[in-house]
Structure 1
Amino acid sequence: MKKYLLSFALAFMSLTAFAQADYEKIMSEKIAKIETCKTTEDFQTLSNDFQRIGSKESGKWLPSYYAAFCYIQKGRVMMREGKTQDLDEVANQADKHLATAQNLAGADNSEIHLLRKMAYSLRMMVNPQQRYMTDGMKAAEELQIAEKLDPSNPRIALIKAEDIYFTPEQYGGSKTKGIEMFKKTLEQYNAYKPKSSMDPNWGKGEAEYFISQPAK
């Protein structure tokens, strides 16, 4: 009987190990695709993929995190295309997945709070003048929480640099200051080590891109 139980336990451990390896392989492949996405359709398809992974791996927070991230990236593409009136729904979808991720990861997760900040910023862009004191303030609060939880997180520095770079000068923005902040952000990226190969590690290429642009 003991021999049977031992064999069963070893078989179960082997299956669990194979399942984990399969999960990591699929996740790594999908995460790598984020950098190649260009259109709203690309990001929507990839978000759907992460949602399917999450439905099979119900105890893991990263699939929901990346599903939300893809929605936010979709929204940022829409914003560049001037389709701001549809950003509320995109932000709502991102928040839905972030709620799932936070339930699994806990409230003290810097990466999740940063995406919440980005979702609020999308909402604000529907009508910046009307929403600055609501969604804009909530975005600032989420950014503060994220920074308090992990001051060394380079993605926080990246988003702060973006905010300065794209804010008009009459409201305190500066492209010159923004580029200087991107340079400091790049230093943080070079020193930062993600917890695993699947943990958030996006944004370095964006910092490098802005540094290469002349200040105007």
Structure 2
Amino acid sequence: MKKYILSFALALVSLLAFAQTGYEKIMTEKIAKIETCKTPEDFQALANDFQRIGSKESSQWLPAYYAAFASIQKGRVLMRNGNMQELDAIAGQAEKYLATAQNLAGADNAEIHLLRKMAFSLRMMVNPQQRYMTDGVRAAEELNVAEKLDPANPRIALIKAEDTYFTPEQYGGSKTKGIEQFKTALARFNSYKPKTALDPNWGKSEAEYFISLPAEKTK
């Protein structure tokens, strides 16, 4: 009987190990696609993929996190193209994914708070003058929470650099200061190690891009 029990236990362990390997494999493949997505449709398809993974791996927080990130990236592409009418709905969907991620990961997760900041910033961009004191303030609060939880996180430095770079000078922004902050972010990327191979590790290429811009484009 003991041999049967041992055999069953070993088979169960092997099955769980295989399932985990399958999860890690598909997540690795989908995370790699983040760098190749270009269009809103690309990011929507990727968000859907992560949502489906999360429905099967209900104890894992990262699928919901990446579904939120892909949704936010979709919104940022639309925003750069001047298409603001969908941003509220996109931010709302991202916030639903983030609620799921936070329920699984806990409240003290800097990466989740940073994405909340980005979602509130999307909402603010629908009408910056009217929403600065609501969504803008909430975005700043989420960024502050993220920085307190993980001050060395390069993605926090990256988003702060974005804010400085793209904010008009009359409101406290500066392209020159933004570039310096991108350099700070890049230095942090070069020394920061994600907790696992699947944990958030995006953003380095963006910092490199802005640092490489010709000087005349940063004035």
Q: TM-score, normalised by structure 1?
A: 0.99
- Identical positions, percent: 78
For 1:63-95, what per-residue CA distance to the aligned partner results, in whole angstroms no more than 9, with x for missing partners? 000000000000000101111121000000000
Count of paired positions? 216
Partner Cα separation in structure 2 for residue 91 and residue 182 of structure 1: 25
Does residue 129 (structure 1) correspond to residue 108 (structure 2)? The answer is: no
1:2: Cα distance to partner?
Answer: 1.4
CA-atom RMSD in angstroms: 0.5
Partner Cα separation in structure 2 for residue 109 and residue 28 of structure 1: 21
1:1-216 correspondence runs (5 A): 1-213=1-213, 214=215, 215-216=218-219
What residue identity is the alignment partner of 1:184? Answer: T
For 1:16-67, what per-residue CA distance to the aligned partner results, in whole angstroms no more than 9, with x for missing partners? 0000011101000000000000000000000000001001100000000000
What residue identity is the alignment partner of 1:174? Answer: S
Secondary structure at 1:196's aligned position in 2?
A: coil
Partner Cα separation in structure 2 for residue 181 and residue 113 of structure 1: 20
For structure 2, the residue ranges without an aligned partner over 5 or more in a row are: none
Secondary structure at 1:199's aligned position in 2?
A: coil
Secondary structure at 1:173's aligned position in 2?
A: coil
Partner Cα separation in structure 1 for residue 63 and residue 43 of structure 2: 14
Partner Cα separation in structure 2 for residue 184 and residue 97 of structure 1: 30
Partner Cα separation in structure 1 for residue 48 and residue 33 of structure 2: 13
Partner Cα separation in structure 1 for residue 105 and residue 184 of structure 2: 29
Partner Cα separation in structure 1 for residue 128 and residue 54 of structure 2: 34
Partner Cα separation in structure 2 for residue 51 and residue 85 of structure 1: 24
What residue identity is the alignment partner of 2:75? Answer: G
1:194: Cα distance to partner?
Answer: 0.3
Partner Cα separation in structure 2 for residue 85 and residue 137 of structure 1: 21
- Regions of 4+ moved over 3 Å: none
Partner Cα separation in structure 1 for residue 62 and residue 86 of structure 2: 26
Partner Cα separation in structure 2 for residue 30 and residue 52 of structure 1: 12
What residue identity is the alignment partner of 1:18? Answer: F
